[in-house]
Amino acid sequence: MNASQQQSADSPVRVRFCPSPTGNPHVGMLRTALFNWAYARHTSGTLVFRIEDTDAERDSEESYQALLDAMGWLGLDWDEGPEVGGPHGPYRQSERGPIYADVATRLAEAGFTYECFCSPEELAVRREAAKVAGRPQGYDGHCRNLSDAEIADYRAAGRDPVIRFRMPGHDFRWDDLVRGELSFRAEHVPDFVIVRANGQPLYTLVNPVDDALMGITHVLRGEDLLSSTPRQLAMHAALADIGVGSGRTPRFGHLPYVMGEGNRKLSKRDPESSLAMYLERGFLPEGLANYLALLGWSFGDDTEFFSLAQMAERFDIARVNPNPARFDLKKCISINGDWMRVLEVDDFATRMLPFLQRAGLIGDVPTDRQAALVAAIAPLVQERIETLDQAPAMIGFLFQEGAAFTMAEADAVAMVDGSGSALAVAAESLQALSEWNTPAIEAALRTSLVEGLGLKPRKAFGSVRVAVTGRRVSPPLFESMELLGRDESLRRIEAARVRAEAAADG
Ligand code: GLU
Ligand code: ZN
């Protein structure tokens, strides 16, 4: 492959995201989507979203839908693909069978492929022999030049052939957009199967065929696919020869591996790999997208907090780092927390609501009182949580009335000796208030507990906090009590007092 056959730099950028709909969307896949999106948006190019669903046994409609949802949730739009259509459709490979059959026929007619009748057992035996002899273990070219008579014999014996691509026999080199000059020796890239014996076309055929037909100029994808690149370069040359596509080979860029715990590659099976975990825990799409961007790319200075729009503005493949990226869930959570704090408070409240509903604190339709509580507490929670699933535990006390409210057992230990009498004094001072609001509550408790009993504020308010909110860590206490109301606050203080006295007696 020489440079002049490769995509020239000045034609409009067309990139693609082409996942296979198997399992749940995962971090590696979403990082690839994000980088392609950012490159398309940065260059005012086109993002093609193609679904590689030629493997009927592994692909599912559910995964397909989850992919679309994941893109929508992250805020990544596409210019051609499912739901939006485009001039190169259909964009689901399962609907492109006739196109592949036609290309496969033309490749065969031009001599780029041949029928291979080797059985899996025969291949295994020869691979083993090659291994023993210290030769490369890939396909050995056994069927490259079968005579018509040999082919007839195989057929007569009831063998159905696979179709193999005939590699051109020369080394492959290319200037990788991320990794620079790369090369593969010819003997390490043997002839490969493009169509199964049952006629099913494989990734090795359909991926480059679609890249060619869809005019893809840049292929940005994970490093795990590096070994397929020489095969695809060979295929692009063949496709150009038979007039499929523009005749220009895309440029390739391989995004770095993502490493998980223990310095091994993050696997699809790691919980922090699965998008479902982020949805479950209430990450913000802004936060996750921001963190995914840092897996191999940098803003250019020390900036680590930025929006998708800012990323698109700055995105440059030259700043993709070829070294493995380390996945750091703590950092991801912390960036998510930063995003939590910049949301408009109404927006934050809207996003928190489903988590309160899921926890059973609020019904499908919030009552007026619940809606008012959510609005009032939102600015206080927003400062204190990093993921939305932390909200129910922190503010559940506001939505539980009467018997539904209980102190968290682990926090009830704050009811130490003397808590009972302190709570009794607190209750008395609160009962006397003519107005129930934050400053009045604070003044009453300071006067009665800190000045009156001489308690340290931390200890004095600690028992009240656990009594009222059920936990030692809560939103600001006096505001919380104002929101909860006098009756319910006093009822809880009394219940805690009884409990503290019982503990002291026992
Ligand atoms: N469907 C392939 C995958 O999900 C696409 C690989 C590529 O980007 O070429 O691994
Ligand atoms: Zn063979």
Range in 109-118, 350-359, 379-388, 495-504 with the lowest mean pLDDT: 495-504
- What value does the mean pLDDT of the chain take? 94
Residue 8 has pLDDT above 60, yes or no: no
pLDDT in tens, 277-329: 999 999 999 999 999 999 999 998 899 999 999 999 999 999 999 999 999 99
Residue 261 CA, ligand 1 centroid: distance in Å: 25
Please report which confidence band the pLDDT of residue 350 belongs to, taking 50, 70 and 90 as the band edges: very high
Ligand 1 proximity of 52 Cβ (cutoff 6 Å)? yes
Which H/E stretch holds residue 449? none
Of ligand 1's listed atoms, the one at least distance from the Cα of 232 is 9
Distance CA 497, CA 419 (A): 7
CB 420 within 8 A of CB 401: no
Ligand 1 proximity of 207 Cβ (cutoff 6 Å)? yes
Distance CA 197, CA 232 (A): 21
> In the chain, how many H helices and how many E strands?
19, 11
Contacts of 166 (CB under 8 A, 6+ apart): 111, 112, 113, 114, 144, 191
Token pair of 15 as six digits: 């990139």
Domains, the chain, in order of start with CATH, read 3-78+257-329 (3.40.50.620), 96-255 (3.90.800.10), 343-399 (1.10.8.70), 410-505 (1.10.10.350)
Contacts of 428 (CB under 8 A, 6+ apart): 448
Query: Sheet containing 46-49: which strands, arranged edge to edge?
Result: 46-49, 14-17, 218-222, 251-255
Cα 282 from chain centre: 13
- Based on the residue annotation, tell me whether 331 is a catalytic residue of this protein: no
DSSP state of 161: P
| Per-residue model confidence (pLDDT) at position 18 | 98
Range in 20-34, 344-358, 414-428, 472-486 with the lowest mean pLDDT: 414-428
Determine the residue of 207, 255, 257 to mutate for testing ligand 1's pocket, defined as the one with the most ligand atoms within 8 A of the Cβ atom. 207
Cα 50 from chain centre: 18
Residue 413 has pLDDT above 80, yes or no: no
Contacts of 162 (CB under 8 A, 6+ apart): 115, 116, 193, 195, 196, 197
Ligand 1 proximity of 225 Cβ (cutoff 6 Å)? yes
Ligand 1 proximity of 497 Cβ (cutoff 6 Å)? no
| Per-residue model confidence (pLDDT) at position 473 | 87
Q: Which of 210, 217, 207 is nearest to 45 (CA)?
A: 217
Distance CA 253, CA 99 (A): 27
Residue 9 has pLDDT above 70, yes or no: no
Contacts of 292 (CB under 8 A, 6+ apart): 27, 30, 31, 34
Residue 187 CA, ligand 2 centroid: distance in Å: 17
pLDDT: which is higher, 302 or 349: 349
When pLDDT is averaged across residues 478-505 and rounded to a whole number, the result is 92
Ligand 1 proximity of 26 Cβ (cutoff 6 Å)? no
Nearest bound ligand to the CA of residue 268: 1
Distance CA 349, CA 377 (A): 9
Percent of residues, the chain, with pLDDT higher than 70? 96
| Per-residue model confidence (pLDDT) at position 4 | 39
Residue 120 CA, ligand 2 centroid: distance in Å: 10
Q: Which of 223, 209, 200 is nearest to 97 (CA)?
A: 200
| Per-residue model confidence (pLDDT) at position 300 | 86
Distance CA 3, CA 305 (A): 37
Question: How many Cβ atoms from other residues are within 10 Å of residue 481's Cβ?
Answer: 26
pLDDT in tens, 177-212: 999 999 999 999 999 999 999 999 999 999 999 999
CB 340 within 8 A of CB 382: yes
DSSP state of 272: G
Residue 3 has pLDDT above 70, yes or no: no
CB 317 within 8 A of CB 338: no
Residue 236 CA, ligand 1 centroid: distance in Å: 16
| Residue tagged active-site, from 268, 331, 456, 459 | 268
Beta bridge pairs of residue 47: 15
| Per-residue model confidence (pLDDT) at position 406 | 82
Ligand 1 proximity of 462 Cβ (cutoff 6 Å)? no
Token pair of 304 as six digits: 């680590």
Question: How many Cβ atoms from other residues are within 10 Å of residue 181's Cβ?
Answer: 8
Percent of residues, the chain, with pLDDT higher than 90? 87
Alpha carbons within 13 angstroms on the beta-carbon side of residue 14 total 23
Is the preceding omega at residue 90 within 30 degrees of 0, hence cis?
yes
Token pair of 324 as six digits: 């493995």
Q: Which of 437, 435, 434, 431 is nearest to 481 (CA)?
A: 437
pLDDT in tens, 80-120: 999 999 999 999 999 999 999 999 999 999 999 999 999 99
Amino acid residing at 378: A
| Per-residue model confidence (pLDDT) at position 472 | 86
Please report which confidence band the pLDDT of residue 414 belongs to, taking 50, 70 and 90 as the band edges: low
